[in-house]
């Protein structure tokens, strides 16, 4: 019994340590990153009434990544005609769709599936309470 409690205490200690390490890593974020997050938030709020599939600023595509993707697709199309490939036509089309897609595939069914599930759920427990005592 004593051993069980000790194990449980060790687990709690581990969980506390993990949380503290994460919190410290958040506090360490540099000013430039924080500034970019502020800009991202402002863009999100400004985009609130925007078109669902409209263009938006992208940090990762900003330096010309879109051009690189277009070039890659062109290369792929040429290469497909010039050499045999292990990629099936279906997989190739799927890959292209993922590479070129601006919207997330997982998001397409999110609203319908998720909200039908959400509606069936009971009221959320108040923030800060842990339903099962785990963690």
Which ranges constitute the DSSP H helices of 1-135? Answer: 2-27, 31-46, 65-82, 89-100, 105-108, 110-119
Member of 6, 9, 50, 67 binding another protein (CB under 8 A): 50
**Rounded CA gap, 72 and 79, in Å?**
10
Residue 8 is a binding residue for another protein (CB under 8 A): no
**Rounded CA gap, 9 and 11, in Å?**
5
Residue 71 is a binding residue for another protein (CB under 8 A): no
The size of the interface with another protein (CB under 8 A), counted in residues, is 71
Residue 117 is a binding residue for another protein (CB under 8 A): yes
**Window 9-28: residues binding another protein (CB under 8 A):** 10-11, 13-22, 24-26, 28
Residue 88: which H helix or E strand, with range?
A: none
Residue 78 is a binding residue for another protein (CB under 8 A): no
Residue 112 is a binding residue for another protein (CB under 8 A): no
Cα of first residue to Cα of last residue in the chain, in angstroms, is 20
Residue 59 is a binding residue for another protein (CB under 8 A): yes
* Shortest CB 40 distance to another protein, Å: 4
* Shortest CB 1 distance to another protein, Å: 20
**Rounded CA gap, 33 and 30, in Å?**
6
Residue 120 is a binding residue for another protein (CB under 8 A): no
């Amino acid at each position: 019994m004593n051993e069980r409690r000790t194990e449980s205490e060790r687990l709690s200690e581990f969980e506390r340590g993990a949380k503290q390490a994460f919190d410290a890593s958040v506090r360490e974020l540099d000013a430039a990153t924080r500034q970019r997050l502020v800009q991202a938030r402002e863009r999100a709020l400004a985009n609130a009434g925007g078109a669902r599939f409209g263009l938006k600023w992208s940090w990762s595509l900003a330096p010309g990544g879109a051009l690189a993707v277009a070039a890659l697709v062109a290369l792929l199309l040429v290469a497909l005609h010039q050499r045999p490939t292990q990629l099936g036509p279906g997989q190739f089309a799927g890959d292209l769709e993922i590479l070129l897609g601006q919207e997330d595939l997982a998001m397409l069914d999110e609203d319908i599936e998720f909200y039908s599930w959400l509606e069936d759920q009971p009221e959320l427990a108040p923030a800060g309470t842990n339903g099962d005592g785990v963690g």
